[in-house]
Chains A and B, each alone.
Chain A
Amino acid sequence: MLIVIDYNVGNVRSVCNAFRHIGCDVELSRDRRKIEAAAALVLPGVAAFGFAVNALGSLGSCIKDLALAGKPLLGICVGYQMLFDESCEFGVHKGLGLVSGAVIPIPPGRVVPHMGWNKVGLHDDMALFAGLGGEKHFYFAHSFYAKVADSAAKVAYTDYGFNLPASVQKGNIYGTQFHPEKSGKQGLQVLRNFARIAGSTHSTNSGQASSLQAEGRDD
């Protein structure tokens, strides 16, 4: 069972919809026992950083402990940004500190927010991108970005007039600044890869059939 952390911020439903679509056993929850028992955790987030951190509250340290103990964790967008040490969006706020780095504004001189589809250079050795080839477009929507300072983290970048970190992997900790659940077929493949990492059981509902169909059409 995959648990998507429900912490009262926007649009966590779409992450669940996407996992269900690919035949994954997923539940939206903030129940500690379920979180502790989960095969893997997904920390979504459509919110300002400070609001998200406050809404997460004491669940944050619970998630951090589980991730440090080896449970696969996928942070998405602000959920990804919260993996880092701190952010300065509407005041300075502490993150989970699982990956070294700070969340700072996208530098001026370009359209902000960075919103839309941008091409990410994918690494073969990043498990989230298995089967996706060298470059793919993913959907971004953010005004702040994580300046990664962790030498133990693998980083995939997108070009937004500078090398903008689009995804990190540090051991069992994964994060995407982009929204895989909103990135069409290639996004569903990223989620499928995470489900595979988590060893989450695939159910036999119609979702699996459509995921195979989607896989067949991947170019």
Chain B
Amino acid sequence: MLTRRIIPCLDVKDGRVVKGVHFLNLRDAGDPVELGARYSDEGADELVFLDITATIRSRKTIVELVRKVAENIFIPFTVGGGIGSVEQMDELLRSGAEKCSVNTAAVAKPDILTQAAQRFGNQCVVLAIDARRSKTKAGHWQVTVKAGTEPTDIDAVEWAVEGAERGAGEILLTSMDADGTQAGYDIELTRAVADAVTIPVIASGGAGTLEHLYAAIVAGHAEAVLMASITHFENYTINQMKEYLRDRGIAVNL
């Protein structure tokens, strides 16, 4: 049986790890190479690196940084943010990434998911969805692109299903409403997406307590939980999270 995964996330801007609330009011959380090595060493199951400025910055700096982070971690490594082509994915995979996540590019040209799956295998292709609760339709969420700045009319659950059909092997699902609040994951969103697809869903946005992690897995049906604020600012260690989940009957890699 697969264990549930604990995944710290590095949001990287100008070479530093930052963390904000609802994607805004960023504060510094450290050096990505050091933080990555720390999480690998502490027993994190995976590391996610999101270049949150990538859509407007040159790729070269990021590729170099990804390479440096990868040299010091021995756990799976997902890189995302501003990826616009299969060639860029190839470059990141060759720099030490295990998987690439696409968000804006997949919405603009969904074929990228299929092309990437055919070239790298679908386990390499992560569809990142930034979802915001619809103000007009209850129980629905809208897909947002360009680092949360541009709402679309696309329904998040329908997009997840389509993304999986097109070749995504995993969904990184971020609730923009919950992001950075430490008030808990959007369980309803997580469960709606997780129940609609057969590929793994990573719950993201809102982790603040150990109970939140448990709820995302048990009530939200997430295969993995992603967190930033609560690990970067050392509220909990990776081990504390895993021991808590294990003691509540969840299979973890411990």
Contacts and interface: CB of A to CB of B under 8 A. Distances in A.
Interface of A: 9-14, 17-18, 21, 46-48, 51, 78, 89-90, 111-119, 137, 139-143, 159-160, 179, 181-185, 187-188
Given A48-B118, A115-B200, A21 B74 contact: yes
Contact of A184 (B43, B96, B224): B43
Interface in B72-116: 74-77, 89-90, 93-99
Q: Which of A139, A142, A159 has the most CB of B within 10 A?
A: A139
Contacts, number: 126
B137 to A, nearest CB: 28
Main SS class of interface, A = mixed
Interface residues of B, number: 40
B200 A10 contact: no
B75 A139 contact: yes
B19 interface: no
A43 to B, nearest CB: 16
B94 A13 contact: yes
Given A10-B90, A141-B98, A115 B123 contact: yes
Contacts of B67: 13
A116 B2 contact: yes
A159 B3 CA distance: 11
A44 B208 CA distance: 38
A215 to B, nearest CB: 14
Q: Which of A10, A51, A113, A117 has the most CB of B within 10 A?
A: A10
Nearest to B126: A115
Nearest to A187: B74
Contacts of B4: 116
B122 interface: yes
A10 B121 CA distance: 10
